[in-house]
Structure 1
């Protein structure tokens, strides 16, 4: 059984400028007190930004660089699932990360939360990998 954290879609606004996204995510990767804003920005990008490569790159950056136990890890996995759904494609690196985050979530939900499982399920479904 997956443990789900509350999730709200951000308002459907035009995506943020890439410079703002990069600055916000980099800041949160250095300072965990900024994870809430980073989560909003990452989800907003995954749902609204039309540049798949940019979105995927930052999901991978967050998913590989966030500290163990950070809620951003599970969220990065979930956002990779959103990216797969929206664009019908993930790079091999992104798909491997989504699978790795899901495995970590299954092994230890205090390391990576269950949203990573949902994201990997979405990626497999929307990329027809079942």
Structure 2
């Protein structure tokens, strides 16, 4: 019996134009969601431009169709940004809260990663630091 071990590596932050293109493709065609997901995670974990991360997550959160894997991921990525920067815009926090509420009401609409993201926001966002 042969055992196979999967290796997971966090994706790198890609240049903003490539991320924007990947997100747009993912929002327009579900077959491109995996590359959009990789682009979002990469910037959430490693990009130093919080405003760009928030912009991408807000675009996804506002435009992705119900059931898209990108919705829960947008909430999770906002949680990563809160952990890294200690602050988020009020609009980003409101979106994360809305996505988490949708997830609680119907996990087929928005998956549970939105709840994890909101937990991170609540843990890492400094009081009064929503802009």
TM surpasses 0.5:
yes
The CA distance in 1 between the partners of 2:67 and 2:15, in whole Å, is: 28
* TM-score for the superposition, normalised by structure 1: 0.88
> Which gives a bigger RCO, structure 1 or 2 (Cα 8 Å, sep 6+)?
1
- Contact 1:9–1:43 under 8 Å retained in 2: no
Runs of 5+ unmatched residues, structure 2? 1-7
Q: Kindly indicate whether residue 35 of structure 2 is the aligned counterpart of residue 37 of structure 1.
A: yes
Q: Distance in 2 between matches of 1:54 and 1:40?
A: 15
- Runs (4+) off by over 2 Å: none
1:115-130 equivalences in 2 (<5 Å)? 115-128=113-126
Aligned residues: 120
**Structure whose CA Rg is larger:** 2
Residue matched to 1:105: 103
Normalised TM-score (structure 2): 0.88
Q: Distance in 2 between matches of 1:63 and 1:85?
A: 19
Q: CA deviation at 1:127?
A: 1.0
Return 5+ residue gaps in structure 1 as ranges. 1-7
